[in-house]
Amino acid sequence: MPDSILQESASTAVEEPLTAPRKPSVRVGEGISSKPLRWMKKGGLAILDNGLISGSNFLLSILLARWLSPDEYGAYALAFSIFILVGFLYQALLLEPLSVFAGSVFRGNLRGYLKKALWIHWAISLPTGLVIAGGAVLARALGHSLVLPVALAGMAIATPFLCMHAMARRSFYLKLSPGPAAFGAAFYCAMVMGGVYLIYSRGWLSSFTAFLIMGGAALVSAMVMLLQLNSALDPVTGTPKLREIWGKHWEYGSWALATCVVGWIPNYVYIPLVSTFSGMVAAGELRALMNLAAPVLQTYAALSMLFLPYAARVSDQQGKKAASALTRKLAALFVVGAVAYWAVLIPLRQPLFHFLYAGKYTESAYLIPLFGLETIVWSASLGPAIVLRAMNSPRSLFVANGAASAVALLVGIPATRYFGLQGVIWSMILANALYVVVAFVLYGRKVAALTISGVNVAEPVSAD
């Protein structure tokens, strides 16, 4: 959740319509030089925000791998993979539509929009927590693992508050203001790390208490951010109807919801598969490998949140040429970043694994280069994926993720059963490669018919 799986006082130039006249600059070249600096600052704060969240989750996962028994860490890994699916669903129905519609339909009434969106948050997160609690009871009854029900119970309690924290952070992104979100992330990180160390020192650490610490920290941090947001938003200019907002979210999110499910499969279905075929210890080994990719993945999640509202404006107001240029730039940015990350990490894989996990899981370190390749292939898809979301085309992403999911299931299940972790990673590479190809093809078709403010800019196409 964390995440797969998108910050900020906006300048007047960004908040105004691109067709609005600009006042002349007092100093020559100020507008040219200041805009890149503003975006560098916003991007840096966005990376810091998500870096703190992913950093706390990364460090927590490392500490649990060191301090918990392998089977209990495997239960935590399995529960956390399910939580990522929950986060994807929450993003589809609330966070992603929030980013899109706040920059368009409800741009002039963010306070009224967010008040109604908070009701949607509770309508989604509370039933989800109850479903997870039911899963814990079922896992206990089936007796597959003694530690899995405990991990699921902790996740059930934490889920509504972790989702609230995500919504509070995303709300600051709606006007391109990542500063308060980064503060909330730092507050959360400090509480999680301090709380985990405290319960470990008292001998109370388990997957259950780890989830409780995460949920408690998320609740306190979310309340602080909501107070900041309340004082920063402009007054309400209208009272949008909850049914109207939910209708728009569902219209957008119904496809995104299905997309999130099929998007979860190629990346996270393997932990349940590995735990089924090889047990909780093997699931812990897979999670130990996935931990190393978390920093680059969460950095890209931060940049995606920053670029999504901007991409929505570009595609809506500047047409297909600007959208195509933005897509190419984003794809290149993400691929180059992934290559640079793994170029540093791969040569250090053996000592790094030994250092992070106190000698555990070192027999899996040889698979790190394959994980690097998988990340690089996946990163190429982010350019078209962001722009397709901004163009309100979750159906296209559903098709691309559906193709990848088919590979993950048809190839991944037998590969996991007969080849273990190596089969898992090769299956992920194949699935993500297909996703990249399909995403670019569908993006090309979508952008060919792009419109600007309702005016078709594509060439006429005769019907088949």
Could you give the maximum distance between any two Cα atoms of the chain, in Å? 72
| Terminal C-alpha separation, the chain | 42
Give the pLDDT of residue 398. 84
Query: Could you tell me if 210 and 243 are in contact, meaning their C-beta atoms sit under 8 angstroms apart?
Result: no
How distant, in Å, are the alpha carbons of 149, 185, 271, 296, 343 from that of 372? Answer: 33, 27, 18, 10, 9
Give the pLDDT of residue 163. 94
pLDDT tens across the length of the chain (464 residues): 433 433 332 222 222 332 333 333 444 444 445 666 666 676 677 777 767 887 788 889 899 998 988 889 999 999 999 998 898 889 888 888 887 777 666 766 778 788 888 899 999 999 999 999 999 999 888 877 788 999 999 999 999 999 999 998 888 877 667 777 888 888 999 999 999 999 999 999 999 999 999 999 999 999 988 888 877 776 767 777 788 888 888 888 777 777 778 878 887 899 989 988 888 888 888 898 888 888 788 778 778 877 877 777 777 666 667 777 777 888 888 999 999 999 999 898 888 888 888 888 888 888 899 989 999 999 998 888 888 887 777 778 888 888 999 999 999 999 998 888 889 999 999 999 999 999 888 888 877 765 544 444 343 333 33
Give the pLDDT of residue 317. 67
d(CA 396, CA 394): 5
Give the pLDDT of residue 451. 54
pTM as predicted: 0.73
Q: For residue 456, which phi and psi values (nearest 5 degrees)?
A: -70, 125
Give the pLDDT of residue 36. 66
Give the pLDDT of residue 220. 94
d(CA 49, CA 153): 28
d(CA 212, CA 162): 10
- Among 98, 110, 109, 116, which Cα is nearest to 249's? 98
Residue 341, burial from CB neighbour count under 10 angstroms (0-12, 13-18, 19+): buried
